[in-house]
């Protein structure tokens, strides 16, 4: 149940009484707390409130980050979305989405689902100048946290060595969620020294060959893809590299039983459209086909062996924190997400940081594999 204080705030923001009751009934809206700061997060969308929207006690609203449309046929997709108008091309950085916001005197980092993330909140001022929020308390910095030491993502981009980094890609208004025009964001990032995703420049549909060349290069460099944005941020589309599609399959196949089949199908579909658009055949086609097959089967078979010899399907990841308490808060945070993790190791890096090693176990995937290995008929 949402407490009476929040009820009043939500009604004032325009959520109707009946709507609120329905949402509460099905757990679509949940009240939460982070270090004494109370907030409500939307697990489902409701009129005017996107999934992932967070409402704080002081009435601050941080809208959920919207879905970005994906194109799988680059040339036709670009034509259709941008209709001949120019667009900026930015790198799509492979990490996890955070919205950074000042609420009262605290700077908080929110996950896509609308949780205050204890880890990201502790680390965010390592990357973002607090001065920005003194000047713009009503703006939200939206970016990707990416690197090899991430609590949510198995791998980081190739150019982030150790630890994790923040990459800005959007600035939105609290309340409305309206994005600042791209150029204004580029200027603010420069002015406040906020690290930004790489911007590859202004393109239009007449430069499709250059765009293809860019995709080929990013793919060779092991990077995820691009997000194209009209300067006013009204039209946005994403396109991922063939490398990222194969790599996602490779990462996912270790935990095959824990992912919906659609995860794999979507990536195979994207690759098929890439092959078709590029008319890939011969050696190049064979190479990709082999890479995809290996990505799909290799880690899957390895994890069956692991379970068959008494092990579990598990993942080990490390993060750097300033306080060990943050590591325990992450364990509790994952528990609320329905995920079981535990701390394996704590190492003092002697520079003000601790390196924490977590282990995540996949009990359902392990059970399923064990059963099948042990001969269950189905
Ligand atoms: P959705 O399709 O709802 O956007 P998703 O998780 O299925 O979400 P992704 O393939 O992860 O889709 O792509 C969208 C995400 O890409 C964004 O939520 C954002 O976190 C991330 N991203 C990385 N770089 C950028 C960028 N330059 N511009 C916008 N988003 C970016």
Instruction: Please enumerate in sequence order all residues whose Cβ is within 8 A of that of 249, keeping only pairs 6 or more positions apart, or say none.
Output: 264, 267, 268, 292, 295, 296
Contact of 30 with 43, CB cutoff 8 Å: yes
Q: What are the CA-CA distances from residue 148 to residues 251, 296, 325 (Å)? A: 14, 22, 21
Average pLDDT over residues 287-300: 97
Bridge partners (DSSP) of residue 70 are 238
265 lines ligand 1 (CB under 6 A): no
97 lines ligand 1 (CB under 6 A): yes
Specify the pLDDT at position 202.
Answer: 98
Instruction: Please enumerate in sequence order all residues whose Cβ is within 8 A of that of 107, keeping only pairs 6 or more positions apart, or say none.
Output: 100, 101, 121, 124, 125, 128, 130, 133
67 lines ligand 1 (CB under 6 A): yes
Question: Ligand 1 centroid vs 253 CA: distance in angstroms?
Answer: 21
The strand pair at 139-146 and 314-321 is best described as unpaired
3-state secondary structure of 240: strand
Q: What is the mean pLDDT of the chain?
A: 96
User: Does the structure's ipTM exceed the value 0.85?
Assistant: yes
Q: Is the pLDDT of residue 216 over 90?
A: yes
Confidence of residue 47 (pLDDT cuts 50, 70, 90): confident
The span from the CA of 200 to the CA of 169, in Å, is 13
Contact of 88 with 201, CB cutoff 8 Å: yes
Contact of 77 with 237, CB cutoff 8 Å: yes
Contact of 89 with 210, CB cutoff 8 Å: no
Long-range contacts from 214-221, C-beta under 8 angstroms, 24+ separation: 214/89, 215/74, 215/239, 215/241, 218/91, 218/243, 219/243, 219/244, 221/158
Q: Would the CA dihedral through 279, 285, 291, 295 be positive or negative?
A: positive
pLDDT single digits (tens) 305-353: 999 999 999 999 999 999 999 999 999 999 999 999 999 999 999 999 9
Q: What is the pTM of this model?
A: 0.96
Contact of 51 with 42, CB cutoff 8 Å: yes
211 lines ligand 1 (CB under 6 A): no
Q: Is the pLDDT of residue 2 over 90?
A: no
90 lines ligand 1 (CB under 6 A): yes
């Amino acid at each position: 149940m949402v407490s009476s204080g929040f009820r009043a705030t939500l009604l004032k923001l325009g959520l109707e009484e009946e709507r609120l009751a329905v949402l509460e009934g099905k757990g679509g809206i949940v009240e939460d707390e982070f270090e004494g700061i109370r907030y409500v997060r939307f697990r489902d969308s409701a009129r005017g409130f996107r999934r992932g929207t967070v409402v704080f006690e002081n009435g601050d609203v941080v809208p959920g980050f919207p879905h970005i449309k994906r194109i799988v046929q680059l040339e036709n997709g670009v034509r259709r979305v941008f209709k001949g108008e120019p667009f900026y091309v930015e790198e799509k950085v492979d990490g996890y989405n955070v919205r950074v916001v000042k609420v009262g005197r605290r700077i908080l980092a929110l996950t896509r689902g609308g949780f205050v993330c204890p880890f990201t909140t502790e680390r965010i001022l390592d990357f973002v100048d607090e001065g920005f929020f003194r000047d713009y308390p009503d703006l939200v910095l939206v970016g990707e946290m990416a690197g090899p030491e991430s609590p949510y993502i198995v791998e980081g981009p190739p150019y982030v060595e150790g630890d994790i980094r923040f990459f800005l890609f959007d600035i939105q208004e609290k309340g409305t969620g309206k994005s600042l025009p791209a150029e204004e964001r580029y200027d603010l990032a420069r002015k406040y020294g906020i690290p930004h995703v790489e911007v590859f420049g202004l393109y239009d549909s007449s430069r499709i060959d250059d765009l293809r060349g860019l995709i080929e290069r990013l793919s060779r460099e092991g990077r995820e893809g691009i997000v194209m944005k009209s300067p006013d941020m009204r039209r946005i589309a994403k396109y991922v590299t063939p490398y990222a599609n194969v790599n996602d399959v490779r990462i996912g196949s270790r935990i095959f039983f824990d992912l919906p089949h659609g995860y794999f199908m979507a990536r195979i579909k994207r690759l098929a459209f890439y092959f078709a658009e590029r008319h890939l055949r011969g050696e190049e086609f064979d190479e990709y086909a082999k890479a995809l097959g290996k990505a799909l089967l290799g880690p899957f078979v390895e994890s069956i062996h692991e379970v068959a010899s008494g092990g579990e399907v598990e993942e080990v990841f490390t993060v750097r924190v300033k306080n060990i308490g943050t590591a325990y808060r992450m364990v509790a945070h994952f528990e609320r997400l329905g995920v079981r993790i535990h701390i394996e190791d704590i190492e003092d890096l002697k520079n003000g940081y601790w390196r924490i090693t977590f282990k995540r176990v996949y009990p359902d995937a392990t059970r399923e594999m064990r059963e099948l290995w042990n001969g269950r008929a189905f």
